[in-house]
Every structure is written in C-alpha cells, then in structure tokens.
Structure 1
C-alpha cells in the first residue's frame, strides 16, 4: 500500500530524478488534494451528521458537493492536470465566498478569507510565476475586506453556521498551512536538492574528465598546438614547449615559430604541411592538422622528420605498402588471396574448415547505387563477419565479392555445423551511416568444405562448386563429391534455356483476376518455356538461371513480344481486358528493354490501357531512383503500374507514391496466414485500408479456399487471384472460358480450367 501511495504521489526516488515538470506539478497537486481530502472528509462527515440533526439539508448538499469536486479533481489528475489545477483554485475561492456569504458571523468568515492567501503559492506550484502574481493581485480584494472589518451584505438568506463551525474552519486552516503547503514545499525542495546533487556530480565528473584530457594533452609525447583560424597559439603541451622558444599564449603565432613558405591561411587550411624552425634551419617538421568535429579551434601535431628519421620512416612506409598491396585488400583491410595461397610454413600441416561467402547481389547494388556504396557495403559486411566469427576464424578477401572464413582452432568445427551457424548469423541487411540511412538487402551464397592448409587451392575450388549449387531458398551448401554431377546438370539446363530463348520456345499463359463472385475482370500473363522435345521447363528452374546468366534483358524483350502477339491474335468475339505482366527493377533499368517498352507504347497508344506492369519489389533495383523515374515516365503516359508481392520486399510506404503505382497486390504469404495468425490478418487489413486511403486498387494473391475469400471480402478486398478461381493455363483455354462467363456461371466451371 505504501509503495502504491508513493507511486501515486510521485515521491519515489526515480520520481525525484525525473526532469519532467508535468510529473512535479502532478505530484504537488496530488499531495495538496489528497491531504486536503483526508481532513475535509472527516469535517464533511461530522458536519453532515450535525446538520442532519438540525434538519439543515442544504448544508449537507453544499459540503458534500465540495467533497465530490475535491475527489473528482484528484481522480482527473491522471489525464487532465490543467483542469484539476484550475478546479483546486476555484474550490478555494468558492469555499471562501461561501463562508463570506453564508456565515453571518464575520469573525468566523475571516478565517475563510485567510484561505485565499494560499492562492499565490498554489498558483506558483501548479502554474507559473505570472499566475502567482495574478493571485497576489487578486488577494488585494480579501485584504481590503478584512480592513473593512465588516461582512458583505447577504445576497441569499442562508446560514450554514453550525455549532462547531469555528472548529471546522480552524481545522481547514491547520490542514492547509500546516500540512498541505508544507508537504508540497518539501516535495519541491527535495526535487531541487536531488537535482542540485546530481548537477554537482556531473560537474565533478566533467571536471575530472577535463583534468584527465588536459593531462593527456600535456604529456602525450607529441608536440601539439591549439590555434585559432589566424594561427594564434591558444595552448601547447610540454613536448611543444621543448622545441619552441618562449611562447606567449593568445599572442604568438605559428608563423613566428615555424617557417611558412606560403600564406599562413593557406597552410592552416591544409591537412598537413612540412616546415622548419625559424631558429634552426637544419630541422624538419611535419605539422598535421587533427580532425576535430566538436571543436572550433585547430589542433596541430608536430612531428620531427629530419633526414635520418625521414629515411627510416620512408623505408618502413615502402615495406608496409608492399605488404598491404600484395597481401592485404585495400577496401576491407583483410588479408587477400595471396595471403591465403601462401600459408606460413608452420601451418602447412594444419587441417581446416573453410566457408566461402559470396554477396550475390553486390554487383546489382554497384549498378543501382554506385561502386563507392558497394565498397562501403563490402567493408561493413566484412566487419560484421569479423565481429561474429573473428574470435574463431581468420577472414580473407577473395577477388570479386567473396570472403573466406578459415577455421583451424581445435576442436575443429565440421562443415555441417559451420553451415548451420552461417545460416543463423550471416547478416542479410546492412545500413550505412549516410545523410539518409538506407537499409540494403543482401543476398548471399555460401559453400563449405573441409581441407588442409597445404592445399588451399583445392579447398577454394570445392567451396566454389558448392556455391554454384546454392539457390535463394538454400543459400548455404556443404561440398560433397556428388555436387560435381549437379554442376554438370545445371550447365546442361542453362544450355537448354539458351536454346529455348534462341528459338522462341515461349508461350504466354494466363491466370484470371476476378471479383468476389468469380467474374473475370482481367488477366495476368505468365511466361512458360519449353524444351525442344516439347516438355515444359518449370519457372523455378529457368528463372534463377536467367537471372544468374545475364539473360534477363533478352528474356524480358522476348516475353514482351510474345505478349504483344497474344493481344494481336485476341479473338474479335471475346471482350478485350487488361493484361498484366511482371517486370523486375532490373528489367526497368535495362536500357535495351526500356527503349522497346517506350517505343511500343508511343507507337501504339491503344496498348496503354491494355498492358499493366506489375513491378516486383523483391529486387534491390525496385528501390533505385532511376527505376522510380522510369516508372513515373510510364505512369505519365497513362500506363497502369501495380506493386507485386506487396509487403515482402524492399518497397516502403513512400515508394507507393514515388513510383506512381495505382494498384498493390497483397502477397500470397499474408493471405495463407488468414485465420491462423491474428497479426497477419491485421497486416492485411492495414494494407487494404492504406490502399483505399491512397485511392489504390487492391488485389489479393494466392486465394486457395472459400474461407480465405470470405475473410478478404469481409476486410474490404474486392479483387482476387489464385487457384480457387483457376491456375495459369494456355491463353486459348482461358479465352474460351472468358467468352462463356457470367457472374454466376464462372465458379461452377472453374474446375475445367484447372
């Protein structure tokens, strides 16, 4: 109970440390109200009993109303601090007026008037100095009334005097002046004392830090000068005093000590410059300007670079440069391939477990954001790996975008366990410290193997073979002999895909987009590829190979031409509807494909309302500024743009506007969780409400059950796509179905399309 009371009155230790003035005002108000309420309750109960015996029911009403207002004010301090504070002052004034008007005995009502003298102090506690001054001015009126020594003429013939009125009034005076006000003042003084102690502690800590920094500066061993922008010396350390003549602070300039061959201001702007002492022509010094981000003065470190020292430093520098360029990577600072392939003789017989980590989409990031950003991401990625595995492994930078992790510590970790750790701990996104922090999604591929330090080339080749077998779904693979056969199979698949593209063995299949009753309103076109024997090459097979083999632009052009052919051959007796086709951010950034796209829309404007672009947001290119500009160009031409897989990739809320999208497609993952996960249901609901508020169309993908359809309909979704309405099928089949459809006819015949 005591702890609750302390918390309610905000008089715990942490409350005294809280700098929020609202907490302090709330505490003061509650102390006054609670302490006042306790005594007032006893007075009201006693006076009500006496008034009841004297049949003075209006006295009970008046005292009870004051008590109710008092407790309401105490209760509403939780949310309405200002209103409660005002009500407290109003109650004091109302109580004093009641005593003046309804107690004929002026000697008794004088006690009530005395209450008004607490108003300035309470106004100071609860409001401000201006409010306190206003109350001081207001109190001139009761003061004049007391000087008059005569009660006000009665307005209403009511007498609330009771036999114990003098006791009640003195009790209230005692309560306010001896309990309420002192307790509030104690709370305020305690807060000030705690804050003063805290400030003294901070000042002492700051002074200790300043003393430590001053001591470090004076005794750091390197001659250092603090100067202003004109080169006037403001301070110098002991080492600087040893090499200079007498220096007068705030008067002597650097140019008075050192020989500056150029204008002083030019030298001071330079990061470093060589000079000599004016009184010693044989001396040579290097003045280096330190970078001070939070200091207005200039700090120069003075290094002795006389002939012998300069030769030694130069020799050391050349040696370090040779080692760093031959055995270390300049971007990440890690040992490079040369270091890997030339192990120390003492380590040749060591066994090792190796993982080769490749950032698969770093070349895309370089294209989208620039090589400098790519280098920064590679460096940050290396730092993350070093923090997570550096205590166990030695990390190397290989050519391209690969990093090798070498584990030699005993007990030696197995490749399988290493693969499991890498799946859990490799970073999949990074943020760089720039003007605007952008989160870069990373796609990585990892190959693991065991080997020997005497054969590093073999270990690296085995890891590369494993990497070539990875997929986006399974990005980490451990090498085994059978992977070589898989690699040959993958190479054979790539040959088949290139041959299929070369001979245009592509077909456009359609999947309907429907209303809730199954009425088809449009289609999505999906590419299907066939081998020369007529067998289908599944999308899960040819799409990853196309993306990894730099065939995406060629594939996009061929798919677009197939789509145009489908529209040209559209039966005249079948109503023409919008057909959507998928493009990635990389497709939009392809100059070759974008030129074909723009020219087609310009030469055939009738296609603009017929061809809708679905931009997949799972690629880093979807967030590139040039992607946004090109999509905005298409939108200004009137092309409809939809964001596919909404909520699963890189798109942010701002990009709904940045790329001028007019439709979003809720990803099938969120739809599949409806009725299973309340959180996913809320996300879908939020996406639908967001789209409606932005006046965007919403299509839910992956509808497979009637239950999902009913739930989405209840959430306000009106357009749908999924196996419940039909799987992707050849265009001829869907055109036949579309020709026959009616709003009630479709659902009974959808199975024929499946």
Structure 2
C-alpha cells in the first residue's frame, strides 16, 4: 500500500527510488521492534528487581528470581545473543547485590535462600545456553527449509520456462487423456483463429485431447456428428495423425512419451499442414518424373516421328537377332537416303515433309517381311536389316528385292510425288560381323556411290583406298606447308613453233614416288588445301616472272584455279595486291578456270573474276565442253581464252564427229573474239590439222612435255637459252 501510495503521489519517480524508500521503512520497523523489545526487557528487569528488593514476602522473591532467570531467554528470543549475555551479567550483578543485602540483614539462616540463589545462578546460565542452542537449531532448520523452498521454486520456474519455451507445442496429460498443463505454443495451435477459438477463456487444463483433435482418417466425417465427437485418437505406436476438430485442413502429428510420475504423458504436437502439402507435391512430382522418365526412355530408344528404333536401339536389335541365329545365318543391311528431301521440305513445309517420312516408313513396313528390322538413323536416313537366303547373295537379286520394297510414290496435298533414293548396302557375314560394322560399311557405300546406279554395295577395296587417301592427305598437308610441291612448266606454242606462254603444273614427289596430279589435287580440294597450294605456286611464279622481267623475257605463265581458291578471301586479296604493286604482272599471269568444278557456277566467283579481269588479268576457260554449264559460263565469266579439252583432240584426225565439234568450238571462240588453245596434241597430223582450222595456240607432248621450272630459269640451261632466243 505504501508503495502504491508513493507511485500515486510521485508518478515520475523511478522504481529504484521507490525501492530505496521501502527498504528504509523496513529498517525503521526493525529498529522500532528492537526498542520495544529493549523496553520490555528493561521493564521486566526493573520489575523483578523491585519485587526482589522491596517485597518481604518469600514467594514474591521466588517469582522475581524466576522472572530474572527468564530474562536472558527473552533477550535471546527478542533481540540476539549479545542481549542475552548482557542479561546474564545483569542477573549476576543483581544476585550479588541481593546476596550482599541479605547478608547485611542476617537472612542467611534459611534453606530457601540457598535454593533460590542456586536456582537463579543455574537458570541464568543454563537457560540462555539451552534456549540459544534450540533457537540456533531452529534458525538453521528454517534457513535450510527456506533454501530448499527457494531451490524448489527455482526448479519449478525452470521447468515451467522449459515447458513453455521448448519450441514445440506440448501438453501434459494423465493416462486418461485429460490435459493437465499446456504451453503457450500448444494453446496457440489448438486455439488458432481458424478453429473459431481465438482466445480461450480458460487454459486447456481440464479438457481432453479428443475435445480438440480428431483422427485424420475421420476428418471427412461431419464434424458436428455424435460419431465425430466420440472418436478417440488412434495411436500407431507412440504417434498419431490428427486434424483440428474445428478445421480439418490443419494437419497435426501427435507424439507421446510416458513419464514415471503418476504415469503422466507428454504429448508433442506438430503442425504438418505445410509439410503434408509439400509431401503431396513431391509425390505428384515424383509420379510426373516417373512418367517423364518412361517417356524419355522411349525417346531414348525410338524416333518420336516414325516410332522406329533409333540408331542405338536398331543396332541392339540387329545384334540380338544375329546372336540368336546359327552360324549359317545370312542377311543384308542397307541404308536408304531420300534424295532432294530439302526441296520437298521447302516446297510443302515441315508438317507435310514429316507426313512424307511417315508415309514412306509405313509403306516400307508394309512391304518388308516381319523378320526385317527397321530403324531411323538421323534426318532422312533409314536402316533396314533383312535376313536373306543364298539366292540373294547375288547383288543382282538383292537389288531387285530392295527396289521392290521401296515405295515408288507418295501423295502430298493432292500431289503424287515420285520418290528418289540412294541406298548403301552391306552383307552379313562378308562385310561385317555386327550391326555397327555393317552400318559403317553401308555409310561408306552411300558416300561413294556408283554413278550409274542409286544402289551402291560396300567394296572392301574402297575402305583401303579411303585409308590410303587419308594417310596421303596427312602427308600432303605437310608437303604443302613445307613447300615441297614442285612447279613444272609446259610450253604453249604458236603455229610456227615459237613459245608463246607456259602452263604451270603442280608435281609432287613423295619420297621418290610421283603422285598423279588428279589424285593429290582431288585430295587437296577435299581437305580445303587448294588455297594454300595455289598461294605457294603464285609466289613462286611471281618470283620467276620478276627474274624474267629483269632479263627482258616476256613470256606469260598460266595457272589453274578450281574455284575453291577464289572463294578464299585471303587468296583473292593476294591476286589483287600483286597487280596493284606490280602492274606489269597482269600481262604475265593468266588464270585458267577449271570449268568442271561445280563451284564455278557460284555468283561470288563470277563477281571476283570480273574484278580480276578489270585489273588486267587474262582469264581462260579450261576443259571447255566438259563442265557444268559450258555456254552459260561464256556469259558469266569474262574470259578471253578458250581451251579445248584433250578428249576432243585425241580422236583427231580420224573421227569426223570430234572434228566437227572442234570446228564449231573454234568458230564460237572466233565469233566472241577469244583466243583458242588446243591441248593434248601428241602427233604432227593433229598439229597440222588444228593449224589449218585456225587454232593459234598449241599445247601437248608433241611440242614439249612438262618439265621443272628450274630448267627454264637456271643459268646455262639450254631451255633457258632457247627461251631468250624466242624472245
């Protein structure tokens, strides 16, 4: 009350000031009690002394002595041990005074006096000691009880705090399920807003677990039915799955553990609503993953469009079939490639092109036997493995069989399309012992087909040639980079036999063996080495022409370009820079365009040739009459020289048809103001005939064979002297 009064009177004072005032009040009260006790003891002492000295009645003296003997006890009880000792001293002093007075009055003749004196002395010493020991023992016991009670209180508070702050909603129940205690988390969970009991008017104590939870398997029952109300928690071991009774969307897992005290139970609650939702999503995802894996597993083995086995699964099926057969089993594998499919795709669209593939595969399945195995390799390539008898080991019979099963036509958007194929074929056992070898050999036959037939059979010699070409290609690349390819020159002469110009030719001496130009030039073109080869040749020719220019020798040199060189930006820039730095070179370097190369129809080639012509280069069309579009090239290429191929010269002068072709070609060249070079002349009759027809430049073995360029440049060489004499 005093504290509340202070807070009302001085509301702004701090709590520490209030505590100090309360402590001062308590000290004052203790002081007052001590003063009152002291007054009481003094009064008792004075009263006893008065009775003892002023009263002559014997029993009054006895009463006074009794009171005095109790004075140390009262002092010990009311004040402390020091006060008791003071009382003892006072009693001794009073006793001494009383004895002295009694002696002076001659009152020592009675036995009562001795007894009283003895009692007073005994009680003055014994009672305070006994009382002090008893009080000390009581105080010690009181202190122990207080300490024990404090420990019990602390432990109780600790256990209460632990119970409240375990981080888990917890209930303390008896064995019947009655809730004895609940921590705040349990109250918040069971009395959640969704349950309709946002703030319980009382704690959960006294209710049962079934009042708040119901088993999960009964959550779909009517929550207000009597059956739901009577449903007990169904335990599975020490756990149970439940839902809130008033909101079955909230899932609760209950775990119990028994304690020995009165067989009580600790129930730990866990809200698993989110966990169950995540578990359900994970279960759904897992099922979806299984379905996806099954789909991917099929995609990993089958083509999605045609439902045919893919390459890997096709090989597995073929190998399984081969393994299951006897040693005398024979079969044939062939790869089918649909020709010009890109054009069909572009014309009819992707969807229609896919239908063409589906119609093709369905038609092929229908015509092949049930023993055949089909697969889609990639794109427009399909593989088939067919068991065949001895009769079909003959290529003629097998070719007839394959043509009979290939669909001839398919219909797309009302159009009937004729199908065109390329087929590569290999035999089991002779061409391969397993599916992988057979497929590889079919691919090889497909890439190097017979030009007269769409069906190509694997040839073991072809593989050897390919390996040889591969090895030769590696050596050729090194030789070109090391400038080991030699430049040879073959003269081109006028009708009177004078050297008009040279044609530069490449020759390769590979460890003492000359490799034919048609072989290593083709390999270089396949490997993309022609630009580097041509660059090396041009640099050697420029060096020779520069030397001749200083020697006043004016003899042009022509060199061949297959088209791949002109597609190379660096080589084209080299040709342009040469005549920019040395304008006289444009009259000394002639470009011979090999018309048989398909790349020569590229518009970029035509554009660059026109640029070179404008820079002064002479351009000749080589092998005229054997190329991709001979007459068209005369329009697209700014050529001023026409070379008649040796195949038209060789039959002369006996073959009249070839003679007519040569005459027509020369007439065409003359009408276009083009010079004509006839190459491949080997006899005098051929030379005389061509001169009589008006040919102005002749070339062939009859005049001179190709020879190393060094023979035309070396000092003292007879050919070099002849060249200077011609000039």
- Name the TM tier (shorter chain): 0.3 to 0.5
Q: TM-score, normalised by structure 1?
A: 0.43
Structure of greater Rg: 2
> Please, what TM-score do these two structures have when normalized by structure 2?
0.45
